[in-house]
Chains A and B, each alone.
Chain A
Amino acid sequence: MDLNYSKDELAFRDEVRGWLSANLPQDLRDKIANYDELGREDLMRWHKILAKKGWVAPAWPKEWGGTGWNVVQRYIFEEECGYAGTPPLIPFGLSMCGPVLLRFGTDAQKQRFLPRIYNGDDFWCQGYSEPGSGSDLASLKTKAVREGDHYVVNGQKIWTTLGHVADWIFCLVRTDSSLAKKQEGISFVLIDMKTPGITVRPLILMDGGHEVNEVFFDDVKVPVENLVYEEGKGWTVAKYLLGHERMNTGRIGASKRELAKLKEFAAQQPGDDGKPLSEDVRFRDRISRVEVELMALEITNLRFLDQMRRSGQPPGADVSMLKIRGTEIQQSLTELMMQAVGPLAQPFEASNGDAGFDAFTAGLAPRYCNFRKASIYAGSNEIQRNIISKMTLGL
């Protein structure tokens, strides 16, 4: 047993760390550190820097630009990015649509879409959830009816992250409503967001931010060549993709960075007795608790990676565990950051344009609010428990 990275893995980590430190633009670094909102331009700028280096899609096959890294190297890369505080790579193209096309797409689809995903020419979003279909995804109702060489799509998607800036959306739609089993008759289609009949309406979240949307489809014509895999086999595609979506939800690197920041921040905030908050035993214990949770999650993640590397098996239901604990830790960290500023967490918005408060401090409570999403998205933590219960425990 050896919990440490090998010499080669350490060298790889140092290479990644060194490169990130030299190539992450300072203004992006500052935006992340200040918890500023990142726009499409910020996101794609970082995407293109990584694409140029050849590191934007490590898990893809080499012929499509993948790096050939093993699971441990990929993990190290992701965690180093989180630790360095890079803008996130938006997963919809790189980790979702891309892998789906690689697995199920035709050659023509691959040629058409993969290079543009890789290079950041197209911005993708995901059309899964519907107003009546959240955790029960297979109950979705958005309809696609075949008419000649087109499908005509009608319906509504919801919680569409970054749909307002996206060029393309991949959607699960119902192509056959006559089947008894709701998982059947679903198809996976790619839709150009500029197609007539698509309306995007913002959904403002409780932190005041605009990241998700409602997307309405009103007689939207989608060429049949945009169908991925067979008609009616969309659920197979969706299940494959759900595994991918859960690959890196541990977010250990990012949480480590946030923990270090919290410790530093708590040392600067006053406690009730005027001494630094970090010396307040109750607050200190809360921080220590999160730190220990993070240690346990990191080692568990490494154990699973080690098993995966040995067995050559893709991640199983174990990944659900990382999602549950990882998001709990992210949420605890945002909560402690907010609590660290005490009464100063209250200011939200200047009413007369003259903000008499420090914007970073005022952003901590909204950030806490925003992160409540983490235990809901990508399969709520309750759905993750259902998965473990069924897949691992056989219940």
Chain B
Amino acid sequence: MNFDYNEEQQLLADSVRRFLSKDYEFEKRRKLVASAEGWSPQVYAQLAEMGVTGIPFSTDHGGFGGGAVDLMGVMEAFGDALIVEPYLPTVLAGRLIARAGNDAQKKAILPGVVEGKVRLALAHTEKGARYNPAWVQAKAVRSANGWELSGEKCVVLGAPMAETLVVSARTDKGVSLFVVPRDAAGVSLKAYRTVDEMRAADVVLKSVKVGSDALLGADGTAIPLIEEATDFATALICSEAVGAIKFACDTTLEYLKTRKQFGVPIGTFQALQHRIVDMYISYEQAKSMACLAASKADTASDASERARSVSAAKIKIADACRHVSQEAIQLHGGMGMSEELKVSHTFRRLTMIAQQFGDADHHLARFAALG
């Protein structure tokens, strides 16, 4: 039993945190998200330089062969700094390529991902799917030279910055995955900013022609792969949530100590003391569950053990995201409502994490179904 990060994990987390506290402090981030692109290729390149993009990929492609636990400290730092760069979408789609792809596909894409030159996005969710991974109505039909894809995907995170999309579509054998260049003929994007200031797009595929080498893994076998990759990404956002929750707790505590009303710091009021104590209890429990999610994402003996642990974690994390973000705003009073304070942006990210990859109810149903 050991809950510490090892030396490498700690060093990486520290250097990412140091870099972000300097180059990604709140005012810089504000300018960045307000810019036309809405993200910083330089920051992304820096993260790649530090090795962050290589961690979860095999040494065969220049990566470090790490897992979710190796990324916990980094994700916490991302949550603290409210990173908007498309790291998570790239890892999510990249994991599908790494696990389902053949050698040629992996060699073609993953080295660029590791170097930070290629970004990916998973075009999977459709309107009407809610959190059901098996709801796919986009179609892929065999053609003379490969496949023809048609359908509509919504809220594809990172799509505007991605060079390559991994697209789920239904064939006559079931749900399958395809590698599709974002600029392929017939692919069109409606890009927008998300509530948590990231960039996403609705993606329309109109008779998009791809070669037979675009099929990722065996035809019709995508659902368990998508579930696995989504569980991995869920474990990562659990740690991202922990970083954001910690910031929300700490900044609120600081506020309680400095903000004066009735001639005294408001932190002297027991009504507020008990509430911030409960916020920190939520933080500690979130941290524990993030440890569980990451370690089971890496080492679970089977899919149901992994799914059960990740869902249990996401239930608590979703609860903690809502509880801490709501209380942080309330305890800041009117100031908490202001767009000028970082905590209001943390609120927006935590609100979205609570629902990303399934809200508490979704995961409660999944958890209960697994006994």
Interface residues of A (CB under 8 A from B): 1-6, 9, 72, 284-285, 287-289, 291-293, 295-297, 299-300, 302-303, 305-307, 310, 318, 321, 324-325, 382, 385-386, 388-389, 392-395
Q: Is the interface of B mostly helix, strand, loop or mixed?
A: helix
A99 vs B367: C-alpha distance in the bound complex, in angstroms? Answer: 43
Chain A residues lying within 8 Å of B281, measured Cβ to Cβ, are 321, 324-325, 388
Provide the residues of chain A in CB contact with B268, threshold 8 Å. 395
Q: How far is the CA of A288 from the CA of B281 in the complex (A)?
A: 20
Q: From the candidates A5, A288, A296, A395, name the one contacting B285 in the complex (CB within 8 A).
A: A296
Contact of B368 among A288, A293, A324, A394 (CB under 8 A): A288
Question: Is A382's CB under 8 angstroms from B312's CB?
Answer: no
Instruction: Give the contact stretch, choosing among B25-33, B48-56, B146-154, B272-280.
Output: B272-280
Cα distance A291–B312 in the bound complex, in angstroms:
9
In angstroms, Cα B129 to Cα A19, docked, is 52
Q: Does B91 contact A (CB under 8 A)?
A: no
- B3 and A1: CB pair below 8 A? yes
Q: Is B288 an interface position by the 8 A CB rule?
A: yes
If A72-B1, A284-B368, A285-B368 touch, whether A388 touches B277 (CB-CB below 8 Å) is yes
CB distance from B268 to the nearest CB of A (A): 7
Contact of B256 among A5, A72, A305, A395 (CB under 8 A): A395
A296 touches B289 (CB 8 A): yes
Which residues does chain B contribute within 8 Å of A394, judged by CB atoms?
257
Name 6 extra pairs, CB < 8 A, besides A3-B291, A300-B288. A1-B291, A3-B3, A296-B285, A299-B289, A300-B284, A303-B284
Which 9 residue pairs across A and B have the least CB separation, nearest first?
A299-B288, A389-B273, A296-B285, A300-B288, A385-B277, A288-B368, A395-B267, A385-B274, A388-B277
Residue interface mask B308-336, A partner, CB < 8 A = 1: 00001001100000000000000000000
Contact B273 A1 (CB under 8 A): no
Docked pose: A145 CA to B73 CA in angstroms: 60
Q: Which of A72, A285, A299, A385 has the most CB of B within 10 A?
A: A299
Give the chain A neighbours of B3 by CB distance below 8 A: 1, 3, 302-303, 306-307
**Closest chain A CB from B13 CB (angstroms):** 12
- Chain B residues lying within 8 Å of A300, measured Cβ to Cβ, are 284-285, 287-288
Q: B316 and A3: CB pair below 8 A?
A: no
Q: B273 contacts A5, CB within 8 Å? A: no
Bound form: Cα–Cα A305–B4 in Å: 12
Q: List 17 A-B contacts (CB under 8 A).
A: A1-B72, A3-B3, A9-B1, A72-B1, A285-B365, A289-B364, A292-B316, A300-B288, A303-B284, A307-B3, A318-B284, A386-B270, A386-B274, A389-B270, A392-B280, A393-B276, A395-B273
- Cross-interface CB contact of B295 among A2, A287, A292, A382, cutoff 8 Å: A2
- Interface residues, chain B, with chain A CB atoms under 8 Å away: 1-6, 9, 69, 72, 253, 256-257, 267-268, 270, 273-274, 276-278, 280-281, 284-285, 287-289, 291-292, 294-295, 312, 315-316, 364-365, 367-368
Bound form: Cα–Cα A303–B72 in Å: 16
Distance in Å: Cβ of B247 to nearest Cβ of chain A: 15
Pick the contact of B292: A284, A295, A307, A385 (CB < 8 A): A295
Cβ of A227 to closest chain B Cβ, rounded Å: 35
**By the criterion CB–CB under 8 Å, are B276 and A1 in contact?**
no
Whose C-beta in chain A lies nearest to the C-beta of B72? A1
Chain A residue with the shortest CB-CB distance to B5: A1
Instruction: Please determine whether A389 and B315 come into contact, CB atoms closer than 8 angstroms.
Output: no
- How far apart sit A395 and B249, CA to CA, in the bound complex (Å)? 13
Instruction: Flag if B291 contacts A393 (CB, 8 Å).
Output: no
Given known contacts A386-B270, A393-B280, A303 and B291 CB-to-CB distance under 8 angstroms:
yes
Expressed in whole angstroms, the Cα–Cα distance for A9 and B277 within the complex equals 33
* Chain B nearest Cβ from A30, distance in angstroms: 27
Do residues B364 and A288 form an inter-chain contact, with CB atoms below 8 A? yes
A13 to chain B, nearest CB (A): 11
Instruction: Give chain A residues whose Cβ lies under 8 Å from the Cβ of B1.
Output: 2-6, 9, 72, 302, 305-306
Are B288 and A296 in contact, CB atoms less than 8 angstroms apart? yes
Contact across chains for A395 and B276 when beta carbons are under 8 A apart: yes
* A373 shortest CB reach to chain B, Å: 20
* B2 engages A2 (CB within 8 Å): yes
Chain A residues near B365 (CB-CB < 8 A): 285
Contact check: which of A1, A9, A291 meets B4 at CB < 8 Å? A1
Residue from B285, B289, B294, B315 in contact with A1 in the complex, judged by beta carbons closer than 8 Å = B294
CA gap between A295 and B365 in the complex, in Å: 17
Q: Is the CB of A388 within 8 A of B292?
A: no
B269: nearest chain-A partner, CB-CB = A395
Given the complex of chains A and B, what is the CA–CA distance between A382 and B9 in angstroms? 38
Give the complex CA separation of A300 and B289 in angstroms: 8
- Quote the shortest CB–CB distance from A350 to chain B (angstroms): 38
Chain B residue nearest to A384 (CB atoms) is: B277
Q: Which A residues touch B4, using CB under 8 A?
A: 1, 306, 310
Contacts of A287 in B (CB 8 A): 368
Q: Are B316 and A296 in contact (CB under 8 A)?
A: yes
- Knowing A1-B4, A1-B294, A395-B257 touch, does A388 contact B316 (C-beta < 8 A)? no
A388/B280 contact (C-beta < 8 A), A1-B2, A3-B3, A393-B253 known? yes
Most buried by B among A1, A4, A284: A1
B276 → A minimal CB distance (Å) = 7
Chain A nearest CB from B243 CB (Å) reads 16
Task: Give complex CA distance A243, B236 in Å.
Answer: 36
Looking at the assembled complex, report how far the CB atom of B360 sits from the nearest CB atom of chain A, in whole angstroms.
9
- A386: which B residues are within 8 A, CB to CB? 270, 273-274
CA distance in complex: A306, B3 (Å): 7
Supposing A2-B2, A9-B1, A292-B367 touch, asked if A299 and B292 sit within 8 A by C-beta, the answer is: yes
CB neighbours of A285 from chain B (8 A): 364-365, 368
Which A residues touch B280, using CB under 8 A? 388, 392-393
CB-based nearest A residue for B294: A1
Instruction: Verify A325–B274 contact, CB threshold 8 A.
Output: no
Query: Which of chain B's residues has its CB closest to A317's CB?
Result: B277
- In the bound complex, residues from chain B placing their C-beta under 8 Å from that of A72 are 1
In the assembled complex, the Cα of A392 lies from the Cα of B250 at a distance in Å of 12
- Chain B's nearest CB lies how many Å from the CB of A366? 29
Minimum CB–CB distance for A390 against chain B, Å: 8
* Distance A285 CA – B285 CA, assembled complex (angstroms): 19
Residue of A nearest to B295 (CB): A3
The answer to whether residues A385 and B273 also contact, given A1-B69, A303-B3 and a CB cut-off of 8 A, is: yes
Q: Shortest CB–CB separation between residue A282 and chain B, in angstroms?
A: 11
Which interface residue of A293, A388, A393, A394 has the most chain B CB atoms within 10 A? A393
